[in-house]
Chain A
């Protein structure tokens, strides 16, 4: 069965520090992988997606993620955190049985300290 695991329900960084949010997946076929961001009291917004092209994917707001097949990982990074990055981040994988449905991880809340 497909699944997504996000390590760490909360991550706290200082402003200007590196952001690293971890995501591991399991899938029987080459996956489509996504990161979504949810700002307080808002819906989800797509940050970036991997669809079997380049393994390093650049997204909005300076975020990027690297697909590593050998590690079954798709970690999200940003070189320098900004206060406005404080939000909840969800990793997701496209279902094998339906190209329109996603399986979401449990989410990681990013806290940015001044």
Chain B
């Protein structure tokens, strides 16, 4: 069974803390994504990676960075957490290929910044 695993389901962090959200996929996918999900706004892309050490900014990269040192792992970093980063974070992965390939999602990490 294909799997995208996010390391935490729930996190509570303090304002100003450095926060790491980890995502691992076991499908040998080249593409990995971090989305943020907020009520009424749907999913918004934060960062995208298409290969090890390669990344692209998404629609809302401000306040975030990412790391992809290994193909299977994609980390989202909040350098200095703020209350407006309280949200649900979803990781996804997909295979590269001609046309379109399905993205598989993790279960999400609900982050609360206090």
Q: Interface residues, chain A, CB within 8 Å of chain B?
A: 4, 6, 9, 32, 41-46, 49, 51, 90, 94, 98-102, 104-107
| A102 CB contacts on chain B under 8 angstroms | 43, 103
Contact A43 B4 (CB under 8 A): yes
Can you name the residue of chain A whose Cβ is closest to the Cβ of B103?
A: A102
Task: Give chain A's interface secondary structure class.
Answer: loop
| A43 CB contacts on chain B under 8 angstroms | 4, 90, 92, 105-108
Can you name the residue of chain B whose Cβ is closest to the Cβ of A107?
A: B42
Interface size class on chain B is: 20 to 34
| B42 CB contacts on chain A under 8 angstroms | 4, 6, 90, 104-107
Indicate whether B50 reaches chain A with its CB closer than 8 angstroms.
yes
| A45 CB contacts on chain B under 8 angstroms | 105
Closest 5 pairs (CB-CB, A-B): A43-B105, A104-B42, A104-B43, A44-B105, A106-B42
Give Cα A94–Cα B94 distance, bound, in whole angstroms. Answer: 13
Within 8 A of A (CB), among B38-94: 40-45, 48, 50, 58, 90, 92, 94
